[in-house]
Amino acid sequence: MLKNMQSCYNESVPQSFAETFIENDAVKYFDFTGDDDSLKAANVSAALVASKTAYEVILRDQVTVAFNKFDADGSGAIDKEELGELSKELGQELTDDELVKALKSLDVNNDGVIDL
């Protein structure tokens, strides 16, 4: 059932949401067994809300903080130069070609920068 839930949500939310749902073991607190479909549905809904809340907290407290650290100009995006600084700070300085490839890979909406 969890795999079915994950595949349903993969189309509309980031993959990391489904991964967070599984990794945080959110389902262990909810009963998906038995004959009462309305109870199962309520538990699925509650599990999704709990997981979404956990995802939002991680995004706000960890991802956004790290992202903003490297968004030097405060534009709300990380450009090629900022990505280069990020790679240096992480001890894995990238060549210009590697930066271009990395940016292309991380630029999900093809606007030339990495958006949060």
pLDDT digits (tens, 9 = 90+) for 11-36: 444 455 555 555 655 555 555 566 66
* Listed residues 36, 53, 69: the one ending a domain: 69
Going from the C-alpha of 61 to that of each of 25, 64, 66, the distances in angstroms are 20, 7, 9
The answer on 57 and 5 residing in a single domain is yes
| 58 and 78 co-located in one domain | no
**Residue 85 and residue 30 in one domain:** no
Q: Say whether pTM exceeds 0.75.
A: no
Q: Please, which pLDDT band fits residue 6 given cuts at 50, 70 and 90?
A: very low
Q: Is the pLDDT of residue 2 over 50?
A: no
Supply the range of the domain harboring residue 82: 71-116
- Beta bridge mates, 115: 77
Q: Are residues 10 and 61 in the same domain?
A: yes
Furthest C-alpha separation in the chain: 59
Cα dihedral sign, 1-8-105-102: negative
pLDDT(96) > 70: yes
